[in-house]
Chain A
Amino acid sequence: MRAARGLRVGSMEVLVFCLVAFAVSGAWLRAGVAGNAMLATAGTVFCAVFVQALPFLGLGVVVSGLIAVFVPPERLVRWLPRRSETAVLAAGLAGAALPGCECGSVPVARRLFGDGGAAGAAALTFMLAAPAINPVVVVATAVAFPGQPKMVIARVGASLLTAVTMGWVWSRWGRAEWITRRLPPNALHGPGTGSKWLVFCEAARHDFLQAAAYLVVGAAAAAALHVLVPPGVLERVVSHLVVGVVVMAALAVSLAICSEADAFVASSLTMVPLVPRLVFLVVGPAVDVKLLAMQSGMFGRAFAARFAPATLVVATAIATVAGVLLLGGSA
């Protein structure tokens, strides 16, 4: 974009140009999409996943905006128990009460983490639990998997267990020198000064833009999987438990879908058995490429390079076991 600015062509001009071009070619585009069976199906699946997930994203950013205004992380730290083991547990359960997607929870966790110490492990547990098991995500999962309450229970249980396990792992083996990044003076969203109303709007605006952009990636992947993979092939590949779990964990890491929207992507993959889809839902909010980037930005590279792979292994293992135990029969 730097070069573009040199030519005095900013992002706004590019956007306007794009929109005019699409508006002019709209009728032609519409006919082209409707006339091609593959494009039509892909477009419809994309729009379906995007439109279905958007109200949940909206609800999520409203709540995370309210948290940014009314529940500063400093206050959360004061509520935590002193002993690190119980603090980890409490942080996991606190995550269930505080909605927000993973983009929001990394900065909040960095605030909570402070200089490490007793709050450190609890902060990491909170970071993993908050986006995975909050009420918005639970409702979204229940809506996406109607008539399958076990899916919701398995997701919440496996995610909470993953978060608490990683908290304990950190308090046992974690090292302070891996944390190389210090907090920027104003770590929360955007221009943080101003009235509470503006802080709320700023946090909600910022979270929505980030999460919706990654939702586009997820919806596009779901659409591509629908039309590009011949029916039966994926079914045969993922019907093997281990292969299915590995494929879906890799998909969760690479797609980086917001946790408030990922249930709809998972429920659209009707050809995949339930256990690998559960792995997708447990791994996604805990570790993906976007979180890796955010964690190395806020905690430091040495931290992210150890924490993210460990989380991936723990989350995959716990989700697989939970899935086989709870969903095994219906898979």
Chain B
Amino acid sequence: MKRETENTLLLLVGLSIGLITYTGVFTRYVKPALLPWLAATAVLLVGLALVAIVADIRRGGPGHGGHDQDPDHQGDHSHRTGVVWLLVVPVVLLIFVTPPALRPQAAARSATSASSDALRHAFPPLPPGRAPELSLPEVLVRSAHDSSGSLTNRLVTITGFVLNERDGMDLARIVIFCCAADAQLARIHLRGPAGGGAPRFADNTWLRVEGRVKSGAPIPTLDAVTVTRVDAPANPYA
């Protein structure tokens, strides 16, 4: 591969990272907290590419500066540059294809068992309010390991999407620990006056549910009091 092609690819990788960071598409793949790092990476890569391109032009064209154009010379430099072509793949995927966020079927189904070996201990009390907002993973962890019973007879608010199973409806979130590649499914059974049978929702409908958590193994149950349809959140993962 010619030096100027390498520089162009480097520029494109930088631009594609900048693009998904700017549009927010990156939350489909990694945690939102990575945003400043992705922005810095995009700036770094674009900068490196521009410096190389400008320096080559100043030297009077890439052929004068580098030895990359002569394939025989590659031998003693010990790197084969053909492999750099592979960078076309992420550029095309991130700029043109932008694969969607994971669907629940693709997530490993073990989010509840992952925390089962931790010891039971007293959790800090829930935030004040009539029905404090909790994330689904937090509810599951508290339900399994909290010895102070902070969830007992407390109204909480949980947001998640619907998963219809044979014996009823579940409220679920996809949990990522590091990036979408390690996604696991967190779920809670949805029952009670508002959640049971009557208003069936289609799979992947996003709901905000107020209710009381009843612990159970392996999956606890949420006795729903009110159920509201909401829009899908910007960050698809919990």
Contact = CB atoms under 8 A, between A and B. Distances in A.
- Is the pairing of A and B real? yes
Interface of A: 1-2, 10-12, 15, 18-19, 22-23, 26, 29-30, 33-34, 37, 39-52, 54-55, 57-58, 62, 103, 106-107, 143-146, 181, 184, 190-191, 194, 198, 201-202, 204-206, 208-210, 212-214, 216-217, 219-220, 222-223, 226, 231, 264-265, 267-268, 270-271, 293-294, 297-298, 330
A55 B41 contact: yes
Contacts of A198: 51, 55
Given A48-B180, A144-B178, A201-B51, A29 B97 contact: yes
A58 B110 CA distance: 33
Contact of B13 (A49, A201, A212): A212
Contacts of B105: 37
A145 B181 CA distance: 13
Given A40-B100, A43-B97, A216-B86, A208 B48 contact: yes
A34 B10 contact: no
A37 B99 CA distance: 11
Contacts of A41: 102-103, 106
B8 A209 contact: no
Nearest to A222: B181
Nearest to B115: A147
B67 to A, nearest CB: 7
B26 A40 contact: no
Instruction: Name the prevailing secondary structure of the B interface residues.
Output: helix
Ranked nearest first, the 5 interchain pairs of A and B with the lowest CB-CB distance are: A43-B99, A297-B78, A268-B181, A48-B180, A52-B179
Contacts of B181: 45, 48-49, 52, 222-223, 226, 264-265, 267-268
6 contacts: A1-B71, A37-B106, A44-B28, A51-B30, A184-B77, A216-B86
A61 to B, nearest CB: 8
A110 B6 CA distance: 26
A268 B182 CA distance: 5
Contact of A208 (B10, B12, B91): B10
B97 A12 contact: no
A236 to B, nearest CB: 15
Nearest to A14: B5
A33 B106 CA distance: 14
A48 B29 CA distance: 4
Contact of B45 (A15, A58, A219): A58
Give the one of B86, B91, B110 with max A CB within 10 A: B86
Contacts of B75: 297
B52 A58 contact: no
A40 B99 contact: yes
B18 to A, nearest CB: 11
Given A55-B40, A144-B178, A271-B108, A202 B52 contact: yes
B8 A22 contact: no
Contact of A48 (B88, B98, B179, B184): B179
A12 B68 CA distance: 13
A58 B44 contact: yes
Given A26-B96, A204-B48, A209 B87 contact: yes
B2 A47 contact: no
A284 B29 CA distance: 24
Give the one of A11, A22, A194, A212 with max B CB within 10 A: A11
B31 to A, nearest CB: 9
A15 B8 contact: yes
B219 interface: no
B44 A62 contact: yes
Contact of B99 (A47, A146, A208): A47
A220 B82 CA distance: 17
B66 A11 contact: no
Contacts of A205: 6-7, 10, 48-49, 51-52
Contacts of B134: none
B86 A213 contact: yes
Interface string B20-50: 1000001011100010011011001100110
Given A33-B99, A41-B106, A43-B97, A15 B44 contact: no
B2 A10 contact: yes
A12 B89 contact: no
A190 B29 CA distance: 34
B177 interface: yes
A216 B89 contact: yes
B117 interface: yes
A144 B8 CA distance: 30
A45 B49 CA distance: 27
Contacts of B88: 15, 18
Give the one of B30, B65, B94 with max A CB within 10 A: B30
Contacts of A47: 28-29, 90, 93-94, 99, 180
Given A47-B29, A55-B41, A267-B182, 15 more contacts: A11-B5, A12-B4, A19-B12, A23-B96, A43-B97, A44-B101, A52-B181, A146-B178, A190-B66, A212-B87, A213-B84, A231-B108, A267-B178, A268-B179, A297-B77
